[in-house]
Structures are given as C-alpha cells and as structure tokens.
Structure 1
Amino acid sequence: MNMSVLTPPRLQVEPGFPLRLSPGLGELSLEADFAAIRALIDERLERDGAVLLSGFAADGVEGFQRFAAAFGHPLLNYEFGSTPRSQVDGKGVYTSTEYPAHRSIPLHNEQAYTTEWPMRIWFYCARAAASGGETPIADSREVFRRIDPALRQRFADKRLMYVRNYGNGLDLTWQQVFNTGRRDEVEAFCRPRGIHCEWNEDGDLRTRQLCQGVARHPRTGDWVWFNQAHLFHLTNLDPEMQEILLDTVGEEGLPRNVYYGDGTPLEADALAHVRGVLDECEVVFPWRTGDVLMLDNMLTAHARKPFSGERKVVVAMAEGVSGDTLPTTL
C-alpha cells in the first residue's frame, strides 16, 4: 500500500483538547493522505497529547489497522491485560474493554499498572452508539500538577504494589491474561519483569509487582500521574461488593488490589482525592462513526461512558516502553 502523496492536501486544524484534525478541502482518506496527516501528528501529538481525526475516509477496521501500522512501529499484542478484550480482523487490533454497556470505565493510562506499556494508542469508532459511549480523556500532566504535593511525593517515593488473583469466577483467568495454559510460560514472562508468581495447590495464580506511581515522559520530559491505584484498589467497588468479596475470599484473595510498595495500605481519602482530580480534568466529546483518536498514552488518560445501542470501538497500540528505563522518583 502506498501511504504517500505528491502534494499534501489542505488539512483543517481546530485547537483544543483533543486537537481536532479534519479535511480542509474535498474528501480525504487516512491512507491516501497519510503523509500530510503524519507530519502534523509528529509535530503536535507530544505537545497536545491527543489528536482526533474526524471526517476522513477510513476503509473500516482493516484500513484503520493499516493506518496505525504505517507510523512505523509494529502493533503490540495485548499482554498481561487487566480487562477482557478480543482480537478483531487485522493483526494488533482489539475490541475496547468488553464491559457491560451500563457501566462506565474510569480514566486511566493504558497498562499503567505494570512496568511496560504502549507509548502510542489509537481508537477507531467503527460504529458510534445511539447515545453515550464517549471516550473521555484527561491531560496526565495536569492531573499530576493538581494532585496534592505530599501525596504525589508519597506515590513517587514508595511506589505501588499491585496484587492480582486470577480466575475463581471473579476475574480473568491466568490463561486469558497470559495467553497460554502453561505455567512455565507464565513464569518465563513474569521473571524478567519482576512479577512475583505464587501457585496454590488448586493451580490458581497470584502475582505481585512493584510499579511506578508517577513517571517522566522520555521525550518531552514532562512528569505525569501514571498508575491505576484508583482502579485496582478495593474502594473502586461499591460498598456492598466490597463486603461480599471480603466475606467470601478475604483481603488476600481479592481479584485485584494495590498497596504502597512497602506493603502498607493506601489511604481511602487519598484515593478519593485522586478520583476527584481525575473528574475535574475529564474532557468529553462525542464520537462520530469513522473517527480516529490518537493518544500519547503517557500524556493522556482515557475512559468510557455508559451507552445504549450498538457500539463498536476498536483499539491498536504500538511503541512499547519499559518503565525501568524512566525516572519515577521526583
């Protein structure tokens, strides 16, 4: 496929968050006009954090896959995932998180609960919902600035310990998360990443991993709030579900939980403060069928609103980053 053009088309740029890019003249497509689109994204994405491409012909999911892959980095597999996704037509393209339509998904940076994550993430709206279903975003630099300085320093100094128990009908099985049914392959994946594995006599798995609470972007130098403590912590569940789980499996058996890196508990009021800051920073915009949203995953968090009617949004990720190579202490 030829992704270049001789004469770059005129593109219309609308400032804001996200930066909005649309055809300025005539009908343009993501593929035929890729050179001009990429030049603008290369210039603006790490400044603005998010670019919404709206009004371009996309040629469906396959065209979206080719568009994302054309940026020059192989599309990543969804490994060590925390939510259910399915691969769709096109290598490296997955459904967005498969949660019930009536539930919202809070703001988060993709895979910030581990030490490896994608730097680039694309969303393609193959079908906009009849109502709702937006993908809100938030500037992770602004979130970092608004977090109470003492809490921000505590997260940086202590870091975070994520604990996961797989299966038991309560969460994803370890076979789903690691894409294998072999224990030795799970251990081989976890060992170099500092993920501690514990197998019980029933063959169930518990993992623990020490991760960053904040991080510094490797190219812009910006500090960002970069973790999923507010999602993994027990307080993310409603009080009734918290009580049921604690009575059923106890704290050690919770499907997922998070502590400070030294094993001490996170404060409920601290997490309430984090959720409040995220709410303050949330920006919501409507999807149109055919839209593509491109994010710098470290600079911009994303979420999902409840919806009604059929909705199809798929995702691709690229340019893996290792947190072990980045500053995570202020």
Structure 2
Amino acid sequence: MTPETGTMKRFGRARKSISVSGGDLVRVTPLTEGTRAVACTPTVAGLDAREWLAGSGRQLADLRAEHGAVLLRGFSPLDAEGLGELATAFSGELRDYDNRSTPRTRVGNNVFTSTEYPPDQTIPLHNEMSYTASWPATLFLTCLAPAAEGGETPLADSARVHDRVPAATRERFERDGVMYVRNFGLGLDLSWQEAFQTEDRDEVSAYCERNGIQAEWLGGERLRTRHVVQATVEARASGSKVWFNQAHLFHVSSLPDSVERELRESFSEDELPRNALYGDGSPLDPADLAHIRAAYDAEEIAFPWQAGDVVIVDNEQFAHGRRPYGGARSVLVAMA
C-alpha cells in the first residue's frame, strides 16, 4: 500500500491542561498540539477504566462527543474481555464485523484483532466500514503489546480532511457517491465466505439484497458485488460535514506500483479484486485521489502506543490507520 507521508506529532509535546481539580480522578490534556483529540490519565494509581466509567456519569461520553478521540493512558490494563466490558458499558451493545473488508480474528464476544496485514504495509487513514451504508459509531482499541518500532495508529479529524479536499472534488463525490466493486473467488483477497461469514450463498444474496448491494454470481466460487454509498456524512455528535468513504483505500492505486501494474494487465476495471469508482461507474480521476490523500497526510496525527493504552474513537469524527512496524504488536478492537 502507499506509504503515509504525514508528519508525526508525538504525544507529550506541548501539552496544556484542559480541566483538572483536586477531586478529579482523571486529568484531561490535549493528545497533541493543534488537535481536538484528548488524553485522559488517572490521578490515582491502579484506576480501572470500567470503574471510572461507571462512577463518572457521562464524562467519557461527553469527551468522545466533543473531542472525537480519547486516549486512556495509565489505567489498569484491559484484556479482550475487559475491553468488551468497557465498550459494552459505554455503548450498550457491540456489533459484529460483518461485510468484512480485511482479515481479523475474533478473540472474544465481538472483540477482534486489528487488521492482520503484513507488518511492512501501511493501512491508510480511513473511517471504519465507511464503504458500507451502516457503520459503527464508536471504536474501542487497546494495545496489549506495542511494536518494537513503529506500529502507531494515526488519527485524522474527518471534518478537517473534508475541508481540505478541493471543492470541485467534494462536489463530484457528493453528487455521485462512491461505487465499491469487489470480485471474490480470485484467490487474491478475502473469499466471500470470510467476508460474509457464511458458506451459504443464499444467505449472502439475502444480505446483499437487504443492504442495497448488487450481487452477481459468476460461476464456481466467483462473486462480484457493487455497492454505491456516501462520500460524506454529517457527524451526529458534532453536526459537521465530514469526509467519509474509502475510495482512496479501495482504489487499485493504493497498492504498490508493481502490484497495480500486474493487476491491471490481468484484469479489466470491473474485474479487479477490489476497486473504487465514482457512483456512476466511471473511473476515479487520479487528481481527485491525489487531493484526498494529500488532505489525509496534512491532517494526520500519531502517538506511540504504550501497553495498556485504550483509544476511544468517534468513527464519524476521526479516521484511523496503521503505520508499518517491526517486532511483535498486539492491538484489539471492539465496535459499537
């Protein structure tokens, strides 16, 4: 995938207190300079984030709504079960990872590993499941083991990304939406069985019909889907217009040049394992993709993971990604 080139702003630089008093259990500070995202650190040792959530009313929910992304650092570490309990207490219900786009392993009750791509690959900034018409409102990530090198989960304010995309590009995407085309059964991406978590073709067809996805069985194990959905949305918590799609990630140009070239020599535009088009079915303009990627690069922020960190992300207000890494790395995610 295409390397990310945005400048990293490290956690801990130019931190300025936002709110704290002697009776507070948690200190709230900016995550990095120049961003709305915040970090929460306990003022007492051994504080459990689940206990703080239970005893603090809407404080954490209000921080997520106002700031978009909240890092919990210095709390008692959570395992998969603990992350699920925190996310359930916060949101009431966790959602499964349906209509999958990337490989993940279920490690608990709707708690998953983060995307299992090779460590040398970058995962571009994106909003979770914005390639669908139904997406999680909140993401909960926890770091069990940080990488020896790299492996950050960068963030980007989706409203600021939206405003950086040139008006002509925004207007084209908002008018037509984005068409995501996926060809399953080629052995080059997820199988349809993994993507839809079933071996039953009728279940897949019914799911697609319910969700407005055009499904075409092509013989053997081959399935082609086309789905036209939004390019922008109005974030429910903030009311701001945000950039909300994965056109730049699904498009074949997100792959290394040599891989894109080989795929284009082997497949036509609608036969590629996955690709993004304008909603009317016409190919994306490379200039538009360049503008989108530049907007993400300009708004990217990142911090080094520490073991026990939890990040709570408003999935509409903030995009996230993954940087390449060396050594072992373990990050879990729950969606609500």
TM-score > 0.5 by shorter chain: yes
What is the aligned length? 310
Gaps of 5+ in 2: 1-22
Give me the whole-angstrom Cα distance separating, in 1, the residues matched to 2:301 and 2:116: 22
1:287-298 correspondence to structure 2 within 5 Å? 287-298=305-316
1:8-87 correspondence to structure 2 within 5 Å? 10-16=25-31, 17=35, 18-36=37-55, 39-87=58-106
- Which segment is superposed worse, 30-39 or 256-265? 30-39
1:119-268 correspondence to structure 2 within 5 Å? 119-268=137-286
1:10 maps to amino acid: L
User: Does the residue aligned with 1:199 lie in a helix, a strand or coil?
Assistant: strand
CA contact (8 A) 1:104 1:304 kept: yes
TM-score, structure 2 normalization: 0.89
TM-score, structure 1 normalization: 0.91
Partner of 1:283: 301
Give me the whole-angstrom Cα distance separating, in 2, the residues matched to 1:37 and 1:298: 24
Give me the whole-angstrom Cα distance separating, in 1, the residues matched to 2:334 and 2:259: 32
Question: C-alpha displacement at 1:67, in angstroms?
Answer: 0.9
User: Does the residue aligned with 1:276 lie in a helix, a strand or coil?
Assistant: helix
User: Does the residue aligned with 1:70 lie in a helix, a strand or coil?
Assistant: helix
User: Does the residue aligned with 1:286 lie in a helix, a strand or coil?
Assistant: coil
- Which segment is superposed worse, 158-167 or 234-243? 234-243
1:74 maps to amino acid: E
Give me the whole-angstrom Cα distance separating, in 1, the residues matched to 2:267 and 2:91: 46
Percent sequence identity over matched residues? 44
User: Does the residue aligned with 2:136 lie in a helix, a strand or coil?
Assistant: strand
1:80 maps to amino acid: N
2:129 maps to amino acid: Q
1:85 maps to amino acid: R
CA contact (8 A) 2:53 2:60 kept: no
- Which segment is superposed worse, 32-41 or 155-164? 32-41
Question: C-alpha displacement at 1:239, in angstroms?
Answer: 2.2
User: Does the residue aligned with 1:124 lie in a helix, a strand or coil?
Assistant: strand
Gaps of 5+ in 1: 1-7, 319-330
2:200 maps to amino acid: R
Question: C-alpha displacement at 1:227, in angstroms?
Answer: 0.3
CA contact (8 A) 1:134 1:284 kept: yes
Question: C-alpha displacement at 1:37, in angstroms?
Answer: 5.3
Question: C-alpha displacement at 1:201, in angstroms?
Answer: 2.0
Partner of 2:12: none
Give me the whole-angstrom Cα distance separating, in 1, the residues matched to 2:237 and 2:24: 29
CA contact (8 A) 1:136 1:283 kept: yes
Give me the whole-angstrom Cα distance separating, in 2, the residues matched to 1:226 and 1:191: 23
Give me the whole-angstrom Cα distance separating, in 1, the residues matched to 2:91 and 2:292: 35
CA contact (8 A) 1:136 1:304 kept: yes
User: Structure 1's 234 and 42: CA in aligned 2 closer, same or farther, altered over 3 A?
Assistant: same
Deviations 1:22-64 (A, max 9, x none): 1013321112222345632222212211000000003422211
User: Structure 1's 148 and 66: CA in aligned 2 closer, same or farther, altered over 3 A?
Assistant: same
Give me the whole-angstrom Cα distance separating, in 1, the residues matched to 2:136 and 2:226: 21
User: Does the residue aligned with 2:320 lie in a helix, a strand or coil?
Assistant: strand
User: Structure 1's 56 and 37: CA in aligned 2 closer, same or farther, altered over 3 A?
Assistant: farther
2:247 maps to amino acid: A
Question: C-alpha displacement at 1:107, in angstroms?
Answer: 0.2
CA contact (8 A) 2:250 2:275 kept: yes
Give me the whole-angstrom Cα distance separating, in 1, the residues matched to 2:217 and 2:271: 13
1:56 maps to amino acid: F
2:43 maps to amino acid: G
- Which segment is superposed worse, 252-261 or 58-67? 58-67
User: Does the residue aligned with 1:258 lie in a helix, a strand or coil?
Assistant: strand
User: Does the residue aligned with 2:130 lie in a helix, a strand or coil?
Assistant: coil
User: Does the residue aligned with 1:273 lie in a helix, a strand or coil?
Assistant: helix
CA contact (8 A) 2:99 2:196 kept: yes
User: Structure 1's 303 and 37: CA in aligned 2 closer, same or farther, altered over 3 A?
Assistant: farther
